[in-house]
Structure formats: structure tokens, C-alpha cells
Amino acid sequence: KILHSKKKKFVIVDQLVTDDEEKAKKYYDDALDVGHEGVMFKNLQSPYQPGSRVGHMVKFKPVMEPFEVVIVGAEWGTGKRSGWLTSYNIACRDENGEFLEVGKVSTGLKEKKEEGLSFEEMTKILKSLVMKERGRHVTVDPQIVIEVAFGEIQKSPTYSSGYALRFPRITRIREDRGPNDCTTLKEVKDAYKKQKK
């Protein structure tokens, strides 16, 4: 037997139909208290469109204070993003000054320069810092500090810090910050504990 039955695989959640802001806030707080990521708001007049919620539904979840992390590695893109470094390994700093990874980020940058910070610009910045290349992955000298917004922190054996940022998104390069100014492992741990309260 390959598959085994699992109890409570699907859980039906309560819904709330209201125009009362206080009731909506309580519903949201209750959802977070029981461990949900957030809530969905839906226009009741909107048609059902499988695979699409554009303009009709909005996910609402807490966003934590952004971290300032160092890029320690990157990966060459494929397809229309080939020739650019498009996925970045990001790290915090421990008390000994060692950089420990807290995840990968590939969103927040633009494909066209005129739309904001682009993959092309980031590639130019990182190319001169490449120390080692293995397949599509490169290791870079940890000099570039970026600000990263994210949804939450989870424990993870995948990364050397023991933590991973969920839904990370690059918001900007911090040219005013050096690698020693980046978010510390203690700050990551403190933020993880705080989100659990």
C-alpha cells in the first residue's frame, strides 16, 4: 500500500460576511491566533472564475519589519531571464561575524530597467563579486546589502542559520549599509519568537 489515510486532511474554515470593521478585525485576529497565515477578502458580487482571483479577492496577512541581508550567492536564470543572475541566496550575521543563510529571494526586481531595480542591474553589480561558479550557481563576496520584506520566519534545516524567510521580496539595495550592518542572527531569532506570541 503506497497511500495511507490521514485524518483531518481538509478543514472547513468559518466564514464571516460583514461590513463591520470591528468584527472583521476580530475574525482576522482569531485566524492568526489559531495558526492561519491570514484571511481572504472577497467581493460577494464577483463571479466565480477558476484559477483567477484578480480584482475580486485579496489576501490579507501580517508583514514583518524588513530585514537588511547580505547576498552571498546567486543563480543564473533560464529562458527569458538567461544571462541574468535572478535568484539570490541571502544571509544574516552571527555574533562572530559569520554570514548564515536565511533563504533565497527572486522577487521584487524588474525585467526592464525603466521599471525600477532590474535583474540586469543586479547582475552587473554582482558579476564583479563572483568568487566561485558551479553550474548555474555562483558564490559571491558578501558585500551587497539589500532590504527584504517577508511574510514570516520559519525554522528550517535547509539554511545554515536554521531559519528561513517566507515570501521574501527585495525592496531596495542599501548602499548606505555594509555587510557588518546587516540583520543579526539574534534579530532573526527575536523576530521569530515575537511572531509566535
Per-residue model confidence as pLDDT tens digits over 173-187: 999 999 999 999 999
C-alpha cell at 104: 533565497
pLDDT at 56: 75
Rounded CA Rg of the chain: 20
Mean pLDDT (the chain, rounded): 87
Per-residue model confidence as pLDDT tens digits over 94-142: 999 999 999 999 988 888 877 778 899 999 999 999 999 999 999 999 9
Q: Judge whether residue 39 has pLDDT over 70.
A: yes
What would the mean pLDDT of 47-68 be, rounded to a whole number? 76
CA pair distance 48, 37, nearest whole angstrom: 23
Cβ distance 44 to 112 under 8 Å? no
User: Among the residues of 47-150, which ranges form H helices?
Assistant: 119-127
- The residue to which cell 525600477 is assigned: 116
Q: Judge whether residue 53 has pLDDT over 60.
A: no
Whether this model's pTM surpasses 0.75: no
Q: Judge whether residue 168 has pLDDT over 60.
A: yes
Domains contained in the chain, CATH given: 21-60 (no CATH), 67-196 (2.40.50.140)
